[in-house]
Amino acid sequence: MKYLPGEWMIIKRVIIYVVIAFSFTASGNELPLKRESILRVEHPSAIQYASALIQSGTSNTLVYESWSGYKMEKAWLRYTSLNFDHGVLDKGSLVNILPESPSNIVSSVSLVNFNGEDWLYYLEARSFKSEADVFRAKLRNGVLVEIEPVLLKDAIAPSSNIKFHRVSRNSVAIVYTAKKCCSLYFALSNDGVKFDSPLDIDSSGFMPYLSFFSGGDIVYFFQKSFRTSQTQPSGKSVYIIKTHFRLSHNLGKTWTEAIPINLTDVTVHDAKAITRPDGNIDIYYVYPIQGSSGLSLWRRCLNPNGQLGVEELVVEPSFGNIAKPTPHRLNTGEVLITFVEQGKVVLEGDHNLHAAIISRDASCDIGPAVIQ
């Protein structure tokens, strides 16, 4: 039986994962992660959001979007090499990737391995809410090459938070919020360049993200704002943000009802997910820990039946006010997690990118208990 390059890579990662699962000691990178286990990637004055990881042999390149500030007026892509030798995470020089474009914004970076090749997807636009052009390219020696326009049937903007994901051996999917807010869409492509007409999933929200189970089912994450009965001193209503997910067993033709990720807290933000070698999914997300004013990073397992595992605290609460997690599966089977620390006052904090390695996936014991 012959395997496609992408399928053979998955098989090798599973084999490696099984081997290392028995080789890690109980003391290795236990959760929650301590400050000394976390690498600070960036520093002021720019702020960061999403990241993508390119792995080739022993080379590991972290690509991420960096913004000039909270007004979202200018953005560009940057990259750095990462070194994982002997369980210690270190970085190389921080370098800008500058496509030849007059655009003020280059953002929404995603990495898709399609037919054995790593493609970076990104968009270019003149402002945060203006119509964007979408491209894919390969990163070689710090330069974007083989740049191709990506053809969508719908207009999007940087505010759409578009994300690209491979959902099967020959399909790439996108999820995004409507340019005028706030309908959520899903579309497929058989070649990674030309996308079908988008399907409205009949939910509204923002910060969409997609992941897939090894059996072919997919899960759509999004967060939504809800008005509460509480009021601010000004008299305005207090709103909370809650993250939900919907499952599809037929590649986006139909979706289950929305299910909240967490029932123990009213505020849950920024869900991202990663496929596990056992076929399930681990979700990473943030919400306030009891007695803390900031957001803490959590994770839990999700199976194709929509059942959630116990929650695990990923980073010690004293580290800071965490947001925008992105998990990446390493060739070793471990997980590289990136996130930002916002500071006590969100619009005044550094909002800089950090990274850490997690040795094991989350427990898949189904139940409401919380592991702290």
Q: Give residue 279's Cα distance to chain centre.
A: 18
Work out the number of other CB atoms within 10 angstroms of the CB of residue 159. 21
In a domain, 8, yes or no: no
In a domain, 21, yes or no: no
Per residue in 30-52, pLDDT (tens digit) is 899 999 999 999 998 899 999 99
User: For the residues of 213-242, what is the DSSP string, one character each?
Assistant: -TTS-EEEEEEEEEEEEEE-TTSPEEEEEE
In a domain, 274, yes or no: yes
What pLDDT was estimated at residue 232?
83
CATH code, 366: 2.120.10.10
CA gap 217, 223 in Å, rounded: 20
Strand pairing report for 59-67 and 133-140: unpaired
In a domain, 263, yes or no: yes
Per residue in 205-253, pLDDT (tens digit) is 999 999 999 999 999 999 998 887 788 888 888 778 889 999 999 999 9
Rg from Cα positions in the chain: 20
What pLDDT was estimated at residue 196?
98
Q: Which two tokens stand for residue 260?
A: 């909240």
What pLDDT was estimated at residue 231?
84
Contact present, 355 and 82 (Cβ < 8 Å): yes
In a domain, 315, yes or no: yes
What pLDDT was estimated at residue 350?
86
- The DSSP letter of residue 144 is E
Distances (CA, A) of 189 to 78, 161, 171, 338: 27, 18, 6, 28
In one-letter notation, the amino acid at residue 245 is F
How many domains is the chain partitioned into structurally? 1
Q: Which two tokens stand for residue 258?
A: 């929305």
In a domain, 13, yes or no: no
CA gap 74, 270 in Å, rounded: 22
Helix (H) or strand (E) holding 77: strand 75-83
CA gap 309, 191 in Å, rounded: 35
Distances (CA, A) of 9 to 76, 277, 315: 30, 12, 30
Q: Which of the residues in the chain have pLDDT under 50? A: 1-3, 5, 8-28, 369-372
Strand pairing report for 335-341 and 352-358: antiparallel
Q: Which two tokens stand for residue 343?
A: 């500071």
Asked whether the CA dihedral 60, 314, 160, 154 is positive or negative, the reply is positive
CA gap 63, 120 in Å, rounded: 9
Rounded to 5 degrees, φ, ψ at 16 are -60, -40
In a domain, 1, yes or no: no
Contact present, 284 and 269 (Cβ < 8 Å): no
Helix (H, G, I), strand (E, B) or coil at 14: helix
In a domain, 11, yes or no: no
In one-letter notation, the amino acid at residue 235 is G
Domain residues for the domain of 184 are: 33-371
Rounded to 5 degrees, φ, ψ at 35 are -55, -40
